[in-house]
Structure 1
Amino acid sequence: MMRRIHLYLGLFLGGLVFLSALTGAALVFYIEIDEALVPGLRDVPSDARPASWQSVYTALQRNHPERTGAWRIEVREQGGPIPVRYHDPVETRGELFAPLMLWLDPRDSSTIRSGFWGQYPATWLYKLHWQLLAGTTGTIIMGIAGTAMLVLLVSGLVAWWPRRGHIRNAFRFKRSAAPVRRLYDLHKLTAISILILLFVVLPTGVMLELPQYARPLLERASPLFASPAIHLEPRGRAALPLDPLVMKAKARFPDGKLAWIETSADATAPVRISLARPGEPSRRFPRTTVWLDPYSGQILAIRDGLSESSGDKVLNWLHPLHAGEVLGLFGRLLVLLTGVGTIFLVVTGTWRFLLRRRRPIHLKRRQRSEGGQEGG
């Protein structure tokens, strides 16, 4: 029964599994690949830093006066080009996620590159992997497909599980066997090799695709953090420069490294500073956050990324685990291996199915009489 479930589910999902694994493997190093394709980014010294963060924001206001909402400035630990996002451009309003993306030269805050997320190669690939280029509908399809892939994985594991006394045979590769048997051995040994990794990548991917279902389930077990609703009274004076606000946030969490600066969305909104602290799973997207009054510098609210509820801890670990970030370069290489291995599973499984369909009828009867030695 499990063999049939595995077979037909694999045939049904094969194309989507192949696409997901291929794009996922490519995305492991998508930032590096993306920046390698832009000569202007490579020309900026890797350790270059801006004179001040206020000078960066002033340049954004000067060059984009029509964009009066919040800017999100990414702060890279190593320096180099400064990535900036504007999350509410009128040009892509209505899309699930399509901010304006800019890269600034830290030496003079000039724009090196600009584009809308999803419209240049690396993010187009990310959009394909995440939502099949179909917005919310695509994320639901991918979430359901990811759940079905888990069933595919479990059914294959159950179908393969060796009987007592046959454990050694279950891990063998028969070099002298017929091609269909060798393909089966390659298929099973590859699956065994990446089994644990798949049981990490698939569930985290499903939860990332379907947060509208994952979050309520987690909240039943543990309260989740809600961003504070802060509304300030407009002042009749100019806001403080960003740099003293950054220093105030860093003084609140002295072990934190600056990760993001989000400017005020309007005259009534706070400035938001994100800091990466030792022990948080993601350096790029940490949870420790400080909300500040842009006029007085007063701290209005904080989020301590090291004192999260159990539900928030689960959410915080999803993306770092799915992308391998949690283990640094080694973790990313493991995720790359998982994607390549999954592609190989699709290829060997499909190839074996086609070979079995083409075999003469007497060989099929012979295999059935041998009692399923291949394990499905």
Structure 2
Amino acid sequence: MSPAGLRRRQTRRKIWLNLHLYLGLSAGAIVALAGLTGAILVFYEELQEILNRDQIVVAVPTHPQVRSLDEMVAAADSLKPSGSRFFKVYYPRRPGLAYKLLYYASVSGEADGDGYYLFVDPYTAQVTGRQLWHPAAGYWRRPLVSFIMQLHYCLLLDRFGVVLVGIVSALSLVSILTGLVLWWPSTGRFTSALACRRRAGWVRRNYDLHKLAGVLSFCVLFPVLFSGVYFNLPEPVNRVVGRFSVLTRPNAWEGIDSEKLYSEPALGRDPIGFQAAEAAVNRAYPGGRLWMLTAPTGERGVFRIAKRDAAELSGFALGYRDFAVDQYSGRLLQVYEAGRGSYGDVFLDWQWPIHSGQALGWSGRIAVFASGLACPLLYLTGVLRWLQKRRATHAREN
């Protein structure tokens, strides 16, 4: 390489190095916290069951017969917090676990008060406990898993925190890309570039640890960070993806815009009830398991029902189907199938399975767990590396 070419290369490397450094120092602490809390939340359901075992884990009878959801809601209604209404139910992921019925208190006619879980034994339709999950005022009354989730999502800073975490995640995408560029061996000697010198001093070992943690976690960490940007800043991501493909997903969390769908009340006709709504979905689409049901809001609201693990859909996208059901006739008003829409829809369908690690089962979850732990490790070793270089520079100057 000519001297001029070498200087250009050194200049480019200096730019990449400064960009990597300043992005890491400015955003690294938040990413480290988000990564650590995200690693914990990979086991979100298991943690709930361990920490709240007395209320969630139930005995399975010799001849188990699951009671109807109507009976369970009636049992929970008798013990619900004053002024609250049934909002949705999360079905248990396996036998021996309680149904989680979410109730919200209303302050101004909306579900804007405290949110409570009422746990109901599916074999006896008896309430096994109640837990404050979404306190309307503040975060400190939340149970541990709910607290960690909000710390991960918004740093306990409400809407400002949601936007901040989204922006920091976007900056971190640039940071890890610059780190990959700085690491990439121009000679093609990848074995040497991945070497970790055990007998070197602690300065070199810290550098090798930072390098290896970044390179080995890149393939998981990059898509996980991108999905984090999507969940916190969905509108900008939708605008970018929408330039390449038509999008029908209304938001990051559901496939159907149920606010634009309405039930048709008829004179003398009562709502069909929860069990009938489940049955309408199961008759039309027997595959998969019920995962969530949201109750209609008002006289013209619709049931929103979600199923997952439908084998006929992509197993990697968790086999999700979303349904909107007329609360009077039981007619399916709309069905959304993950992985079956436009290219843009399919791309966005994958974001939650990727972010949670569930796209690849236990191997995916462990990979996301490890990449989450890599975030504080990268931040710590990066700061130490910066301090080492600062001390070396001061020593040379003096």
The question of a shared fold, defined as TM-score above 0.5 by the shorter chain, is answered with yes
- Distance, in Å, in 2 between the alignment partners of 1:92 and 1:100 is 17
1:70–1:264 Cα contact (<8 Å) kept: no
2:322–2:337 Cα contact (<8 Å) kept: yes
Q: Provide the residue aligned with 2:342 in structure 1.
A: 309
Distance 1:246 1:361, change over 3 A: closer
- Distance, in Å, in 2 between the alignment partners of 1:318 and 1:114 is 30
Match of 2:307 among 271, 275, 279: 275
Q: Provide the residue aligned with 2:264 in structure 1.
A: 232
Specify the code of the residue in structure 2 equivalent to 1:224.
Answer: T
Q: Note if 1:295 corresponds to 2:321.
A: no
Specify the code of the residue in structure 1 equivalent to 2:343.
Answer: S
Q: Provide the residue aligned with 1:16 in structure 2.
A: 30
Distance 1:146 1:351, change over 3 A: same
Structure 1 position 355, deviation (Å) = 2.7
1:50–1:56 Cα contact (<8 Å) kept: no
Structure 1 position 66, deviation (Å) = 6.0
- Distance, in Å, in 1 between the alignment partners of 2:60 and 2:233 is 37
Q: Which has the higher contact order (CA 8 A, sep 6+)?
A: 1
- Distance, in Å, in 1 between the alignment partners of 2:389 and 2:370 is 28
Q: Note if 1:154 corresponds to 2:154.
A: no
Distance 1:257 1:354, change over 3 A: same
Structure 1 position 215, deviation (Å) = 2.3
TM-score for both structures, normalised by structure 2:
0.81
SS of the equivalent of 2:131 reads strand
Superposition pairs for residues 125-204 of structure 1, below 5 Å? 125-164=148-187, 166-204=189-227
Superposition pairs for residues 36-75 of structure 1, below 5 Å? 36-41=50-55, 43-45=57-59, 50-64=66-80, 71-75=87-91
Q: Deviations over 1:173-208 (max 9, x none)?
A: 223333212211111112111111112111111111
Q: Provide the residue aligned with 1:372 in structure 2.
A: none
SS of the equivalent of 2:350 reads helix
SS of the equivalent of 2:89 reads strand
Specify the code of the residue in structure 2 equivalent to 1:112.
Answer: G
2:263–2:328 Cα contact (<8 Å) kept: no
Q: Provide the residue aligned with 2:5 in structure 1.
A: none
Match of 2:133 among 116, 123, 128: 116
Structure 1 position 76, deviation (Å) = 2.3
2:84–2:106 Cα contact (<8 Å) kept: no
Structure 1 position 139, deviation (Å) = 1.1
In structure 2, runs of 5+ residues without a counterpart are 1-14, 251-256
Distance 1:196 1:243, change over 3 A: same
TM-score for both structures, normalised by structure 1:
0.85
Specify the code of the residue in structure 2 equivalent to 1:336.
Answer: F
Specify the code of the residue in structure 2 equivalent to 1:299.
Answer: L
2:166–2:232 Cα contact (<8 Å) kept: yes
Q: Provide the residue aligned with 2:236 in structure 1.
A: 213
Q: Note if 1:349 corresponds to 2:374.
A: no
Superposition pairs for residues 80-119 of structure 1, below 5 Å? 80-86=97-103, 89-90=106-107, 99-106=115-122, 107-117=124-134, 119=142
- Distance, in Å, in 1 between the alignment partners of 2:368 and 2:240 is 26
Distance 1:333 1:275, change over 3 A: same
In structure 1, runs of 5+ residues without a counterpart are 366-376
Structure 1 position 83, deviation (Å) = 1.2
SS of the equivalent of 2:78 reads helix
SS of the equivalent of 2:272 reads coil
- Once the two structures are overlaid, the 10-residue window that deviates more, 175-184 or 46-55, is 46-55
1:11–1:350 Cα contact (<8 Å) kept: yes
Match of 1:333 among 366, 382, 385: 366
Superposition pairs for residues 20-39 of structure 1, below 5 Å? 20-39=34-53
- How many residues align structurally? 361
Q: Provide the residue aligned with 2:353 in structure 1.
A: 320
Distance 1:61 1:168, change over 3 A: closer
C-alpha RMSD over aligned residues: 2.9
Q: Deviations over 1:91-142 (max 9, x none)?
A: 99797x9743332222233141221335211111110110111122111101
SS of the equivalent of 1:224 reads coil
Q: Note if 1:222 corresponds to 2:230.
A: no
- Distance, in Å, in 1 between the alignment partners of 2:132 and 2:267 is 34
